[in-house]
Amino acid sequence: MTAFIIYKAIMCVGVFLLCLGAAAYATLWERKFAAFLQDRKGPSRAGWGGIFQPLADGVKMFMKEEIIPNVSNRSLFILGPCLFMITAVITSAVVPWAKPVMINGHMYDMQITDINIGVIYLLGVASIGVYGIMIGGWASNNKFALLGAVRASSQMISYEIPMGIALIALIISSGGSLSLKEIVEQQDAGFANFVWQPLGFLIFFICALAETNRAPFDLPECETELVGGYHTEYSSMKLGLFLFAEYINMFISSAVIATMYFGGYNFPFAHELYEKLGLADGSVWISLIGFGVLMAKIFGFVCLFMWIRWTLPRFRYDQLMNLGWKTLLPLSLFNLLLTIVIEYFRGNIHF
């Protein structure tokens, strides 16, 4: 029992630190990557190549004066960024980070918890995520913030539907399990789900962009129209939490996409490699290699997120709604139908 508690504690703290660290360096990489795409050099003063820039940014955020508007709803104003941050972090609970490790004859999953409704948990937490923005924007008692919050919530609702339907198609083609661990393991044996679900992947990816409020769907914080969007009234570390949580969201979204569609910690010819290296199941090295592969995939998707942000202009709000309801929703339904037909002929569905 003690071993179990220690294992869970280590996993929780480890994943939490991983999320924070990855998000911190995602902020630096975002600036660097944007600079490279625009023929600049990016931050390079804090430490070697700007390696301490996230630290400097964090210190700056803490040092700033904290302003809570008199007309705001004080408790909700404070709750907003906390909730946004919490929901961003707890999404990571169901992501399997690496292969199980054998310690003292016991297999330990490299995952905080393997609940059998992992996919539904992900969708649920993702939809709670908008509460942070909604509460923060509303409690600010500012028209711009409220508009940003309203935009965020309507956008979130619109894009969650095609996202959910794309996931249903994925689950049908991946054997009917809602557990993320089983989805990953099933991809180890055959192809990555991306091969069977290219359209579903596209829909899911676009929806993930919208869910994380990234460009070209960053209308809730559209500076040209809404000053700062839902965080107009926020300052100091509360603003920092909002901005930081966005990067955590991006990291987790990339992790989920890599897990669901690109095989997570698996990679082609993994077993041949492990056999050649003479590694048995449950070896720490297998786990580490798998973790590295997953991180490489996540890094690739984070780069793709940034690449899109620094290429595409922002949508107009009616275009956003049109894309969500008139394009992605029918497309995801079509994808679902197509998947059912294909899976029937592949023999995975029995009536």
* Cα gap 313→250, rounded to integer Å: 19
* Residue 36 or 291 having the CB closest to other proteins: 36
Q: Give the nearest distance from C-beta 171 to other proteins in angstroms.
A: 25
* Residue 10 or 37 having the CB closest to other proteins: 37
* Cα gap 148→28, rounded to integer Å: 25
Residue with tokens 């056999």: 275
* Residue 36 or 334 having the CB closest to other proteins: 36
* Residue 326 or 346 having the CB closest to other proteins: 326
* Span between the terminal Cα atoms of the chain, in Å: 44
Give the SS3 label for residue 62.
helix
Token readout for 194 is 């991306």
Q: Give the nearest distance from C-beta 35 to other proteins in angstroms.
A: 7
Name every residue whose Cβ is closer than 8 Å to that of residue 251 and which is 6 or more positions away in sequence. 19, 22, 23, 26, 298, 302
* Residue 45 or 276 having the CB closest to other proteins: 45
Taking the CA of residue 218 as centre, how many other CA atoms within 13 Å lie in the half-sphere pointing to its CB?
A: 22
> In the chain, count of helices (H) and strands (E)?
14, 2
| 35 sits near other proteins (criterion: CB under 8 A) | yes
Select from 13-21, 29-37, 59-67, 259-267 the region that touches other proteins (CB under 8 A). 29-37
Select from 4-12, 30-38, 126-134, 343-351 the region that touches other proteins (CB under 8 A). 30-38
Select from 133-141, 242-250, 280-288, 304-312 the region that touches other proteins (CB under 8 A). 304-312
- Specify which residues 218 forms β-bridges with: none
* Residue 242 or 305 having the CB closest to other proteins: 305
Count of residues that bind other proteins according to CB under 8 A = 13
One-letter amino acid at 66 equals E
Report how far Cα 308 is from the mean position of its chain's Cα atoms.
16
- Each residue 261-300 as x (binds other proteins by CB under 8 A) or -, in order, gives ----------------------------------------
Give the SS3 label for residue 315.
coil
Of 7, 16, 25, 36, which one interacts with other proteins (CB under 8 A)? Answer: 36
CA–CA–CA angle 240, 35, 23 (5° rounding): 35
Token readout for 310 is 């620094």
* Cα gap 150→39, rounded to integer Å: 36
- Each residue 307-326 as x (binds other proteins by CB under 8 A) or -, in order, gives xx-xxx--------------
Select from 125-133, 189-197, 285-293, 303-311 the region that touches other proteins (CB under 8 A). 303-311
* Cα gap 162→203, rounded to integer Å: 7
Select from 19-27, 118-126, 263-271, 302-310 the region that touches other proteins (CB under 8 A). 302-310
* Cα gap 321→242, rounded to integer Å: 24
* Cα gap 23→54, rounded to integer Å: 9
Looking at 174-283, list the stretches that DSSP marks H as alpha helix, in order from N- to C-terminal side. Answer: 180-189, 193-196, 198-211, 223-226, 236-261, 270-277
Considering only residues 98 to 127 of the shown chain, the ones binding other proteins according to CB under 8 A are none
- Each residue 42-81 as x (binds other proteins by CB under 8 A) or -, in order, gives --x-------------------------------------
Cβ–Cβ < 8 Å for 72, 135: no
Select from 37-45, 57-65, 70-78, 243-251 the region that touches other proteins (CB under 8 A). 37-45
* Residue 272 or 318 having the CB closest to other proteins: 318
Q: Give the nearest distance from C-beta 40 to other proteins in angstroms.
A: 5
Of 39, 65, 272, 318, which one interacts with other proteins (CB under 8 A)? Answer: 39
The residues of the shown chain that bind other proteins, judged by CB under 8 A, are 35-41, 44, 307-308, 310-312
